[in-house]
Structure 1
Amino acid sequence: MITAAINAGDPIEVVKYWDEEGCFALPDGALMRGHAELQAMYEQRLALQPEITTHAAKILQAGDVALVTNVWSTRLRNGEIDGKDSFEGIATLVLRRHADGSWRILVDST
């Protein structure tokens, strides 16, 4: 599960949950695309040692594509962002099923 990989601080493992064409939309509108950019982003974020909890609030599936609404909260164990060490929010994700039956994140808008 991606949450366990994030909590373990393992950016390589986190990226395994992403589609090769994956795109992460940052709050400022910047887009991180592909495994190399996603891994670099997670290396920076995981340095703050986040402890995250998630709950899939809604899942809509159409064939090999799913839209997931995820409720999340995180606490940073090593630092702050803008003077805060805890955050919560709702993420909207699009997942794609692969030939091996696994689901990988194609788009994440947190």
Structure 2
Amino acid sequence: MTNETHKKVATEPNDLGRFFIERANAGDVDGLVALYEPDAVLAFPPGNLATGHDQIRAVYERFVAAAPVLTPGRQHPALVSGDLALTSATLTNGDVTVEVARRQPDGTWLWAADQPSVGP
């Protein structure tokens, strides 16, 4: 399946969370990986760390293969300090996501660190 969702870029830190839901529901692994800096860290599945695009891609290939249907949770306002932002959402199951986004030289935002399930 070819997906075009990854062509959108995050102009605000909270765009990343919206794009994640869209791209995961579309099965767009490339689009999911494109939300991260090349050396980003993803703590998923719980208890595991994936570092860099290759490892993050492997995680999302397995994730998308399970064909999850994600429902947007409640996105919290981003806490921005210069070129860094803390993003967070409360998921429909009560878990909380926490991410660190960084403004890129072109003004767009990418995640540098992603903890997608902190628990209730």
Asked if TM exceeds 0.5, the reply is yes
Letter paired with 2:113: V
Q: Which residue of 1 aligns with 2:87?
A: 68
Which residue, out of 86, 96, 99, partners 2:102?
A: 96
CA distance in 2, matches of 1:93, 1:50: 21
Helix, strand or coil for the counterpart of 2:91? strand
TM-score by length of 1: 0.80
Q: Residue type matched to 1:60 in 2?
A: L
Q: Which residue of 1 aligns with 2:23?
A: 5
The answer to which structure has the higher strand fraction is 1
Structure 2: stretches of 5+ with no match in the other structure: 1-18
TM-score (norm. length: structure 2): 0.74
- Runs of 4+ that moved beyond 2 A: 26-29
Q: CA deviation at 1:20?
A: 0.9
Give the aligned length: 97
- 1:79 corresponds in structure 2 to none
Question: Displacement, 1:3?
Answer: 1.5
Q: What letter corresponds to residue 77 of structure 2 in structure 1?
A: K
Contact 2:75 / 2:90 at 8 angstroms: preserved in 1? yes
Unaligned stretches of 5+ residues in structure 1: 74-86
Q: Write 1 or 2 for the structure with the bigger share of helix.
A: 2
Aligned-residue Cα RMSD (Å) equals 1.5
Aligned residues with identical type, % of pairs: 29
